[in-house]
Structure 1
Amino acid sequence: MAKQNLGIPELLLLVISLGCTFILLVNSQNMNSTTNSTDNPNITTVEPSMTSDQPTTDEPTTDTAGGETTSVPEPVDPQQQTTPTRPEEMSIEYSTIQANTDIGPCTCDLTGNACDVNCCCDSDCSADDISTFSFCNNQDLSNEDRVCFSKETIYNINNDEVTTETVGGLFCIYTDNYEDRNYYTVPDTVDSIDTFDELVTEYGSYNFAKQSETNETFGDYYKYGDKIYTLFEGVKGIALGYLGLPALLVTNACTDNNPARYLVDENTECVRTVTDLATECQTLPSLSSYSYYNEIKIVAVPAYIRDMFVNVTDYNLTTVFPVTTDAPKVNASTQTPSTTPSLYSGEEFVPIRLAQPSFCENLLDIRTSCNISSFQTPTYNNVTETCSNVVTEVLYTITHNATDGIVDAEVLFVLSTVNAESFPLLQKFSTSFVKFDEEDVFARSGNPGYVIGEPLIAGNLTSYEESVDEGTEEVLITYAISLSEDRYNRMTVVTATASGTCSSDPDSRIPVVFGEDIRSGCLISVSFSDVTEACTAINAIAKQALAGEMPQSMYVAMFGNSDVGIVGDWVPVIIQEPVAEPTSIVAGQCDNVILSLSIEILYANIGSLANPQAKIVGVKYTFIPGKLTYQCVGPYCQAGTENLRQKYEIASSVAFLDVSTYPDAVLAEIPPWKVELPNDFFYPLSTASILHVHILTIMLLLMVNLLCT
């Protein structure tokens, strides 16, 4: 018989066949050993869970005759006992879970003796019940995907059915002879502290216990993100603390333990509540401007605090230093010596100045300028039942000079007159940092492309210069973009007050920042008569609340650093109004009323693929109309309730759409090879005789020929 050589494919198939045969033999032996150990279902094998040197616990013993497992307690040293004792006559019988079993055939059946809605596998559900279900919550899972039959899965996403189908590949499982790999191993019950701690150590744990306070460490100067330290002069001495910036924590209620951070411009807002305004108006510290600046000095650099702690071994942010004095000074009014704390009066501690002018608001949220020479204590008026001089906004402006630290600080307050209906009261806090001796500073939203999280730059197209051409006598008008000084108030969406109604304060609206899709809404109140007779007025109110103080000719900067003098670098905002006018054909119903505003922003990345720069190419405002119907529900559906008001939501949404055009994948031609030899490459050949030159040339050609073949 002729000898036949095997090719690569035949060798590969032979190796695979031998490997598969070996795996099947090993698995068959494992299955046989497992089967032999489980032939008798009444025999329970107990693995020792603890070594002899560990504390003794109840060891289960096996009764092979009765087929039941009982626990016989062994004597335990009372001093080493860490688990509760059990009565000797008590027999613990654990629920047995069969290995390699899917124990959750109907996981949606969560109510005993009752039919769970949309749970088609619930045995308590009748055929009529299942007919009312819109879908089934049953989990139909396959243990292994690589089987030798097709599997089809249907997903339902927003009512659009998406189908995925998987089939067996080149290798698939036809007969599964090792079923254990598809199931978890049934764990043993943990009944001792030592075993419990072993598992916690092995698999890790989380502890939310409050960390013990440690001493503060102070560097030579502030760095970005450091807490800003302050000193407060009290009766017993000078207390060390930090500048607070109240913020919300878990709920929207204010927490005053949030510190302001160095060089971090922050804006926070939270809610204050009162139970009795007449009593708490003048006693609640969070409502008074006194709490935010008076008798507080900022530490210029942390090194000053570190020097103060030279002789202090135990300190924290509540340490009080005794008042030390300088040489006695004569008081001009009493002609008696007076002392002042030298620590508190040093130039290295910066007082917080009052910014002028501050602002005052009345009950109608009308803001006016008001000069505040010193802190204003909230005052309650028993006649009007109002509390005046209540702090609603606190704005810190801190001037720094690099490593020299903080050189100046001022605070601007907004004081409001409120009543009991104003609560829960929204308070706003902010910190801004300014570099010493820097002038004409302005913030960009990118350079040049927009940066995610920075506010969009939007303004109004205006003419700022008119001139006459001497030759043609034509009037020349120069256009530019006028911007609001507040960069977070240039393009905004509606926001709600603490009670959910639409806020009329333009400074409280939510800014539109690049790359962040948002949705915000608020409530408007209308009555049955309004819906029937005043659809046009409702439409105007809703549009004003959604759009805010939008300019007539609104433009948006293409780049984050667009020049206001170059109008070509700005795109006009396209506004799409409803076609039909709001009307009321049916009583209690308004048609074509604006209920939402959709802001769509198109942007494209340009420049290098490794360093893309975002450019805005289009902005569109779409006012979406709808049907506003006065609902006949409960008390609103009774005679004489025509003037009872219902609340309806209006909403704004912002969507950023990436319209970038990526380069086409075009394969360029292979460049030609350019080989150049140096001038002296054949130098040895040029110095030999002609005969030698011929011989060497022939040898060189032969070598090149051999190398190229």
Structure 2
Amino acid sequence: MSSQPTLDKMTMVGALLSFLMFCWADSRNLVFQPSSIIATGPEITALLLGNIENVSLNVRTVFTSNVSGSIESPSCASEETLWIVSKELVGKNARVNLRLNKSLHLCGDNETDCCPKPLCVLDTLRLSACVGNTVHASLLIQARIHAHLISAYPGFDNQTVIPNQVYQPLGSCPCDLTVQTCDIRCCCDKDCSTEELKLFQSHCLPGPFGGQLTPVPDYHCSAQREDSPDWFPFFCVISPPENNPYLGLFYNGDTIIPKPRPSFQKPVLSAPVFNIYRQGNPIFTLDDHLFTIPQMAIGHCVYNAPVAFLENFNFKCVTLLDSCPTAFPLQTLPSDLEIQVNNGQGGVVTVQVRDELVVDLSHFLSDAVVNSDQGQECKDVTLALDYTFYWKGNQITNITLIRSVGTVILNGRVALTTRYSAIFLTRDYVGDSNSGNPGYQVGRPVIAGIESAQNNTFSVQRTSIYIWKPVRDGLCFTAEKQPVLFAENSTSGCLFRVSLQNLAQCDLLRDTVGSLQKNLITAIYVANSGNPNSETEADWVKINYVNSSTSLGDGDGSCSGIPSHIHIYIWSLVTETAEGNAQRNIQAIQVRSTLSTWTLDCGGGDLSPCADPTEAQLFPVTSSVTFIDIPIHPGPPKTRFQINFTEYDCNRNDVCWPQLAFPVTKYYTGEPHSQALAKGLILVFFFIAASVLGTPWRQIRQAWNSSLVL
């Protein structure tokens, strides 16, 4: 009999523990941060902290009780409001976003989705986080949102069209910039209501642009006061009120109706006249739009860059892919690329597209697995667009396009390098690419050449001279080369990995770096003009190679005589003028190699490079080019007086005495010298007259007369 109560107590204790464990497991500890928000805009953001699994969000409009004055308690019942609720995960928590699903512009005629009053939304909202039908957290929101003071009329583009002042007067409120809308701080705006004016009545725009006339300037003759000096009438400005910087802002005269009159301008034709293609002119499509190909401009890829006639280019663009591309230019169709182009003579040329499948994507992908069974598969990704334009005279005869496509496997973020190029051919072969006719054009490649033996006659095979173009990691073994462009100074380089093991073999290190630098410049000659003849020796200038001498002093952990820098000096001269354009030719070129000593740096507490033979450091390998202009007319040599005596030299002295009396000197060219001299003498006369007739002279006469009386 005594064991039965004990068993009942144990059963009750177990049930109580089970209930507490259930309550503890179901506790969410959810909380909104912040707990209350006063919203003045159409978007509201808050954080929901805690276990957000199976949590639903709903927003309700709540009201204050007229009896107790308290706000309604939170509820999980759904209600249709003007707010759209969404959430996004932020770690283990969530960011909750509320967006007003209503337009905030003021209502016009026959409009519904708009604001009837300037105070558009005035609500108290309760955002609840519920699990099932239980509220675990709530957020109180007070929304007080005004309408946007912008025009809802698409024809006006939110701006007042200012007409020509000759034919249409402008109103007396220059700060009224928007139609049928109150402009902030514009107190003369007729569209502002009394309530709106009270918001900024004490902060109206000052000056003429706020509709307030400016006072008379102090230098104006009408501004003379009793305390003005005696010389004020001689130096004040007489000008009518209409002649001021704000002429036209407050013009309220009559409207002048323009009358038809004879015109000597070129008549407007009904159909556009197409100009023939010349080098550098843009290429147009059949519907008079620019023919575009993705190109690089100012360090960025421009997908709608126009193509210039007879201008070859080859650009690469890097795109970071997180998902499969769906838009141009990474996703293209042959039908979209078969564009009809104006051939320059009024005819039509259609782009002929040919597809090539790329299997090896190692040249297009970096920092990604090229072939993998895992990841997202993106098919028919456009990897390259190579255009070939065939031309004859000023006409395009044919256009072909090779579209390279391949399958990209996305395993994380992928850096995709795409290529876009255009080349112009004539007679079905690549002609010699000139850099000017006859002189070099700025920005065109410098033409170099290698001598080729051909029946004991002079003949040059064209090539280019290059400088470094670092890409990706900037290392010399992955760097590319870029041609030297005429009249554009440049300095570039790459990084070379050197370890203690490399510094133990200095001869091999010198040969390796030297071979890298020699690959930049393999030419013997440089063309002195932009269109040289390969068989005319007078059209070519021999390159002068200069090596700086230094004694080899190799030691432990250091190597000297490393050809780490090459510098290219190019002298150019203006030799003639063709059609008003100066023609520049290359007169001489020198390639100078600078030797340096490489030593591992083990300072700063990092001793690993000097202790571990395989630990490497980075050393710079650089290249540069400098263009030097040779003056056309150097002029006679300066005398000793011109060199040493600089007191009267306005170009070398801060104080220029000859220009002290500027209007009456030869440096003043605004009007004839005789008129300037006459006006200067008249000004001196008035100055003397003002001195004689002014207060100082009158005081002298009074003192003289008083002395005579005594």
Provide the TM-score with structure 2 as the length reference: 0.44
Query: More relative contact order in 1 or in 2 (CA 8 Å, sep 6+)?
Result: 1
